[in-house]
Amino acid sequence: WGLIIMDEVHVVPAKMFRMALRHVKSHCKLGLTATLVREDNLIDDLNFLIGPKLYEANWLKLTDEGYLAKVLCAEVWCPMTAEFF
């Protein structure tokens, strides 16, 4: 392949995604994600699996400029039965 575009690239360090990436050869790789975070600290592995981060956008600026929808978050409390605890 010439170019592989991977969305949600933060999952690539996981075992199954690594195996898939080993089998698919490409000249270039482009990874996209809105959350470049992992709880297992394997995010640094992306440097040798995909390459270094080239660009980061500020979501607040993108929202102010009209590229992203403005959201309103609200916490809603509701009673839960014992089976959910």
Bridge partners, residue 7, by sequence: 32
CA dihedral angle for residue 30, residue 31, residue 34, residue 36, rounded to 10 degrees: -130
Neighbours of 12 (CB within 10 A): 22
Q: What is the mean pLDDT of the chain?
A: 92
Q: Kindly report, residue by residue over 74-84, the tens digit of the pLDDT.
A: 999 999 998 88
Q: Kindly report, residue by residue over 21-78, the tens digit of the pLDDT.
A: 989 989 999 999 988 889 898 999 999 999 999 999 998 999 999 999 998 999 999 9
Q: Mean pLDDT throughout 8-16? A: 94
Query: Which pLDDT score is estimated for 1?
Result: 83
78: number of CA atoms within 13 Å, CB side?
5
